[in-house]
A and B are shown apart, each in its own frame.
Chain A
Amino acid sequence: MSADYARIFQSLPVPFMVLDRNLRFVEANAAYCAATTSRRADLIGRHVFEAFPEEGDNLRRYQEAFERALAGEENVVAFFPYAVPGPNGQRVLKYWSCTHTPLRNDAGDVTHIIQQAEDVTGLAAEAPDATAGMQAKVTKRAQRLESLSQTLRAEGDFLKRLFQSAPGFMAVFSGPDQTVELANDAFRRLVGKDDVVGRSLAEITGHFSATGASARPGTGSAFIAEAFPLLVRDPDGGAQRRIYLDFVWQPIIDDDGTQVAVFVQGNDVTEKVQASHHQQLLLDEINHRVKNTLAVVQALVLQTLRSTPSPAEFSTKLQARLAALSGTHNLLTETAWNGVELRALLHQELAHFGERRIALSGPAALLSPRRTVNLGLVFHELATNAAKYGALSVPDGRVTVSWQVLPDEEGRPERLEIVWEESGGPPVVKPGEAGFGTRLIERTMRAKPDARFSIDYRPQGLLARFDMPAEHGDAT
């Protein structure tokens, strides 16, 4: 059964009328016509200010009220004096309180204004000495209240928008189950749920768990947490991630001292905490590298001193070794410590002897930072020895360095073989005892399981072979 809304509208005991967006009458019910002593047929299609002329302040109040209604805001014009024609033709002053409600279509646009006009003349007349002056006072007060109510509503709306869209999360809980009464968008994002109001805190944060022995909010007193760690289990994946929250847990206490609610406000500071952790890691890493480099430099100094008693020779050798170490660090810096190509490392140590005397051949082979540093020093020692006693000590001598990367059964790099071959130099004589270079090479190769090194003092030229596991980006 469908109701006859037109009949219902007409029969409502309270005065109602409907305006279109041009403020022309679309409808008016019988109570409205009676209250304004007008006929429905005379009203329909007429502009409201044509049917009921206004001027000055009154005109302004109504215009404003209609505009706000058209903008979608319900409003009230309270205690408004307007004289209507009386039964005998004379004007009768009446007081009205008019509520304006916007009427929307399916798309949500305001198409009409519904005015509910209430005759409140009785309120003014009930006062025993209802003089005109008194009525004017009442009218003024009503207008002030109307204006105050508008201000409060505007402030309320503003606060509500602030609350909803604040970057930090906010919520209000009450009752023994800590039921959510209010929650803003950031709080909904934090817990990953839209429908939180009316549900318990335990229910909406079931996927959160505290870590370690962190202090928890108790009852009755405020709790302030900084970088409070929580584990959050993702609803779909089941994976846990760690988040950090700064928050204030503020009980709301009424006049009797009873806790009536809890207000929680805070921020997700996970990114800030992670950035700080990352910075600490970087600092530790820098410390590690600096200390490591200092230890290597100390060892270079002591080892060089041990093998070279002459101060002049010591100075020359040490500076050359430090320069080699520094050059290797330059290569590493260029690649952001991701590793250096073997060819680039060899080029750095050998290029200054000239292309005619140096031949490098082999595929791409990326060395870890650690191996770069150690092999850099090893190649420096080999090159220095070659320049002093070996193939590079004469104009026609040559050094050929060739390498290959041997794959395992699945095609991944498994072994790195490097051959250092000298030719065209003076006849080679095996040194009496292992020098710094040889000792360094042996020690370097021993650091990896299955690494092999051989050095052959062939009369026609030194031949050194390195055979080591291939590696990529080892820890430095």
Chain B
Amino acid sequence: MSGSPLSDLQVLILEDEPLVSMMTEDMVVDLGGTVVGPFSRLDALVRHIEAGGGCDLALLDVNVNGERSTTVADLLRARDIPIIFCTGYDDAGIGEAWRSAPRLRKPFSDAELEQAMRSALGR
């Protein structure tokens, strides 16, 4: 998909479900992006960010091994990195501060992922 507005994007993935992580990774690659990670644990992602690891966009699973990923989202926002939350079934865990953030409901299609990425990037 070279030439697509999403090509050459560095897309960070946080997802603890191995199969879903693999699928999301393939979708991002098919859209022309490059995957950062994928991460399956919050602590590993926090270390990556604190070590200066960057990206253009982050896809964050909301519930990661029972923990909310909003703390990581705060770190990313402080670095002006757009975020898309991937939620399983409820939005309650996201919290007021992130109510307006774009989100994808699992299971999502590649078309929905592309739409959400464009929306998050304002393209």
Query: Interface on A for B, CB 8 Å cutoff?
Result: 284, 287-288, 290-292, 294-300, 302-303, 306, 374, 377, 439-440, 443-444, 446-449, 474-475
**Which of the residues B16, B66, B90 comes within 8 Å of A284, measured between beta carbons?**
B90
Given contacts A294-B107, A439-B22, contact A287 B17 (CB under 8 A): no
- A446 to B44 alpha-carbon distance, docked (Å): 10
**Which of the residues B20, B65, B66 comes within 8 Å of A295, measured between beta carbons?**
B20
B19, A440: Cβ atoms under 8 Å?
yes
Given contacts A292-B106, A446-B40, A447-B41, contact A298 B90 (CB under 8 A): no
- A287 to B89 alpha-carbon distance, docked (Å): 6
Q: Nearest B residue to A288 by beta-carbon distance?
A: B89
4 smallest A-B Cβ distances: which pairs?
Answer: A299-B19, A299-B23, A443-B18, A475-B66
With a cutoff of 8 Å between Cβ atoms, the chain B residues found around residue A306 in the complex are: 26
A449, B89: Cβ atoms under 8 Å?
no
Distance (whole angstroms) from the CB of A10 to the closest CB of chain B: 85
- Size of the B side of the interface (Cβ < 8 Å), in residues, is 22
Given contacts A443-B40, A449-B41, contact A300 B19 (CB under 8 A): yes
Distance (whole angstroms) from the CB of A369 to the closest CB of chain B: 12
Given contacts A284-B90, A299-B23, A303-B26, contact A374 B107 (CB under 8 A): no
Given contacts A287-B90, A295-B107, A475-B65, contact A443 B26 (CB under 8 A): no
With a cutoff of 8 Å between Cβ atoms, the chain B residues found around residue A374 in the complex are: 18
A298, B89: Cβ atoms under 8 Å?
no
- A299 to B105 alpha-carbon distance, docked (Å): 14
* B80 close to chain A: CB less than 8 A: no
Q: Nearest B residue to A448 by beta-carbon distance?
A: B41
With a cutoff of 8 Å between Cβ atoms, the chain A residues found around residue B43 in the complex are: 449
Residue in A290, A294, A295, A377 whose Cβ sees the most chain B Cβ within 10 Å: A295
With a cutoff of 8 Å between Cβ atoms, the chain B residues found around residue A295 in the complex are: 17, 19-20, 23, 88, 106-107
With a cutoff of 8 Å between Cβ atoms, the chain B residues found around residue A443 in the complex are: 18-19, 21-22, 38, 40
B19, A447: Cβ atoms under 8 Å?
no
A303, B23: Cβ atoms under 8 Å?
yes
Distance (whole angstroms) from the CB of A444 to the closest CB of chain B: 4
With a cutoff of 8 Å between Cβ atoms, the chain A residues found around residue B41 in the complex are: 447-449
Distance (whole angstroms) from the CB of B111 to the closest CB of chain A: 13
A302, B106: Cβ atoms under 8 Å?
no
- A324 to B61 alpha-carbon distance, docked (Å): 25
Given contacts A302-B23, A303-B23, A306-B26, contact A444 B18 (CB under 8 A): yes
- A216 to B52 alpha-carbon distance, docked (Å): 53
With a cutoff of 8 Å between Cβ atoms, the chain A residues found around residue B22 in the complex are: 299, 303, 439-440, 443
Against A, the Cβ 8 Å flags (1 = close, 0 = not) of B101-120 are 00001110000000000000
- A367 to B88 alpha-carbon distance, docked (Å): 23
- A457 to B38 alpha-carbon distance, docked (Å): 26
Distance (whole angstroms) from the CB of B110 to the closest CB of chain A: 9
Interface members, chain B 44-84 (any A CB < 8 Å): 44, 65-66
- A288 to B62 alpha-carbon distance, docked (Å): 12
Contacts beyond the supplied A291-B88, A295-B20, A439-B22: 12 A-B pairs with Cβ under 8 Å: A284-B90, A295-B17, A295-B88, A296-B17, A298-B23, A374-B18, A377-B19, A443-B38, A447-B41, A448-B41, A449-B41, A475-B65
B89, A291: Cβ atoms under 8 Å?
yes
- A290 to B107 alpha-carbon distance, docked (Å): 10
Given contacts A287-B90, A288-B88, A294-B106, contact A440 B17 (CB under 8 A): no
B19, A284: Cβ atoms under 8 Å?
no
With a cutoff of 8 Å between Cβ atoms, the chain A residues found around residue B89 in the complex are: 284, 287-288, 290-291
**Which of the residues A284, A291, A444, A448 comes within 8 Å of B106, measured between beta carbons?**
A291
- A443 to B15 alpha-carbon distance, docked (Å): 10
- A38 to B90 alpha-carbon distance, docked (Å): 94
- A374 to B22 alpha-carbon distance, docked (Å): 13
- A287 to B66 alpha-carbon distance, docked (Å): 15
Against A, the Cβ 8 Å flags (1 = close, 0 = not) of B1-34 are 0000000000000001111111100100000000
Distance (whole angstroms) from the CB of B19 to the closest CB of chain A: 4
Q: Nearest B residue to A444 by beta-carbon distance?
A: B18
Q: Nearest B residue to A301 by beta-carbon distance?
A: B23
With a cutoff of 8 Å between Cβ atoms, the chain A residues found around residue B105 in the complex are: 291
Residue in A291, A303, A443, A448 whose Cβ sees the most chain B Cβ within 10 Å: A443
With a cutoff of 8 Å between Cβ atoms, the chain B residues found around residue A446 in the complex are: 18, 40
With a cutoff of 8 Å between Cβ atoms, the chain B residues found around residue A288 in the complex are: 88-90
Residue in A292, A440, A474 whose Cβ sees the most chain B Cβ within 10 Å: A292
With a cutoff of 8 Å between Cβ atoms, the chain B residues found around residue A449 in the complex are: 41, 43-44
Residue in B18, B65, B89, B105 whose Cβ sees the most chain A Cβ within 10 Å: B18
- A439 to B18 alpha-carbon distance, docked (Å): 9
B26, A292: Cβ atoms under 8 Å?
no
Q: Nearest A residue to B66 by beta-carbon distance?
A: A475
**Which of the residues A290, A292, A303, A439 comes within 8 Å of B17, measured between beta carbons?**
A292
With a cutoff of 8 Å between Cβ atoms, the chain A residues found around residue B106 in the complex are: 291-292, 294-295
With a cutoff of 8 Å between Cβ atoms, the chain B residues found around residue A447 in the complex are: 16, 18, 40-41, 65
**Which of the residues B18, B40, B44, B88 comes within 8 Å of A292, measured between beta carbons?**
B88
A-B contact pairs, 27 of them (CB 8 A): A284-B89, A290-B89, A291-B107, A292-B88, A294-B107, A295-B19, A295-B23, A295-B88, A296-B17, A297-B107, A298-B23, A299-B17, A299-B19, A299-B22, A299-B23, A300-B19, A303-B23, A440-B18, A443-B18, A446-B18, A447-B16, A447-B18, A447-B65, A448-B41, A449-B43, A449-B44, A475-B65
